[in-house]
Amino acid sequence: MGARVGLSGAEYGKLLKGTFILGKAENVAHFKKGTDLTSVYGSNKIVDKFNLDYEVYKETQGQPSYLDPSLVLELAK
C-alpha cells in the first residue's frame, strides 16, 4: 500500500497505528446481517439514520447495492 503513495513499508506502517486489518473470519462475521455496529448492514442502517436526523440528506439511502459480500465469501473458502 505504501508504494501507491510513494512511502516505504516502514513509513506507511506508522500511518496504520490504531488500524485493525480484518482477516477472513472477521470479514465474514461482519458481513452477516445484523442491526448493530458489528455488522456492515447494521452500521449502514445506523449511519443512514444519523444522516437523516442531522439532515445530511433528506431521503433514506436504503440498503445500498454496494454492500456485496460475494468477494469476501469467495475468498474465505
pLDDT in tens, 9-51: 999 999 998 999 899 999 999 999 999 999 999 999 999 999 9
Query: How far apart are the C-alpha atoms of 66 and 77, rounded to whole Å?
Result: 21
Return the domain boundaries, the chain: 22-75
Average pLDDT over residues 58-64: 88
Cell 508504494: give the residue.
3
Can you give the pTM of this predicted structure?
0.73
pLDDT at 34: 95
**Identity at 36, one-letter amino acid code:** D
Structural element, H or E, at residue 70: helix 70-75
Contact 51, 62 (CB under 8 A): no
Average pLDDT over residues 58-68: 88
Query: Please, which residues have CB within 8 angstroms of residue 20's CB and are 6 or more apart in sequence?
Result: none
pLDDT at 66: 84
